[in-house]
Amino acid sequence: MSQMTQTAASEARPYHHGDLSRALVEAARRILETEGPAALSLRAVAREAGVSPAAPYHHFKDKGELLDAVAHEGWAALDTALDAARRKAVDGKERMTGLGVAYVGFARENPALYRVMYDCSRDKDALPEQMKEEGAYCQVRNTIGERSGGTVSPIDLELATIAAWCAAHGLAEMASFKQFDALKDALGGEEAFLRAVFEHLGMFAKFDQA
């Protein structure tokens, strides 16, 4: 045991790896960050982990299942990013736009990972199960609920959460488009741009107490 996640094929690892499934997921994330999603082949992951092309099949049914594991870690990371953003702001409105900015920021800083997360979701036509009763999605719902003072019907709360989530996702996918560069400059940078867009999404006004 005590295999110490090695960064590549090196130091003559023993025949049995120790924790290959973990090493594979980490190798995949490393490739995503450094070479982009196009370079993420199963064989490349195995290579990066210092293992034969067929080895991953003892830990994952196929390539999709490996990506599922990567996506799972991605959702967890997004969760903690949103959690941090939610704690930072006290004001209700700022807390909401702060969440949005943090969401898009995460997608912009981890574009390849973000893509994998949604590609996996699309293949199953569902966000990960875990998001239902906890996780990032619920953070958004709770934040909206708090801000409304708890007087909102469950259906309206769900609709508002969906609306917010969709808007953030759409913005996350488009924020990198060159078309908006001039506008970003005019507004004083990317974050100002994001805040401006979120302010135009006045979707929570109807829930404001004040």
Partner DNA sequence: CACCGATCCTAACAACGTCAAGATAATCTT
Partner DNA sequence: AAGATTATCTTGACGTTGTTAGGATCGGTG
Q: Which is nearer to its own copies, 12 or 38 (CB)?
A: 38
Residue 25 CB, shortest distance to DNA, in Å, is 13
63 binds, among DNA, its own copies, none (CB under 5 to 8 A by kind): DNA
At residue 40's C-alpha, the angle toward residues 2 and 6, to 5°, is: 15
Which positions from 28 through 67 interact with DNA, judged by CB under 7 A?
Answer: 39, 41-44, 51-55, 57-59, 62-64
Residue 18 CB, shortest distance to its own copies, in Å, is 34
Residue 40 CB, shortest distance to its own copies, in Å, is 15
Whole-angstrom distance between the N-terminal and C-terminal Cα of the chain?
59
The answer to whether 131 and 138 have CB atoms below 8 angstroms apart is yes
157 binds, among its own copies, DNA, none (CB under 5 to 8 A by kind): none
Structure tokens at 128: 């990960």
Residue 141 CB, shortest distance to DNA, in Å, is 35
**20 contributes a contact to DNA by CB under 7 A:** yes
**Phi-psi sector, 87: left (phi>0), alpha (psi -120 to 50), beta:** alpha
**105 contributes a contact to DNA by CB under 7 A:** no
3-state SS, 27-72, equals HHHHHHHHHCHHHCCHHHHHHHCCCCCCHHHHCCCCHHHHHHHHHH
Q: Which is nearer to DNA, 52 or 176 (CB)?
A: 52
Residues making contact with DNA (CB under 7 A): 14-18, 20, 39, 41-44, 51-55, 57-59, 62-64
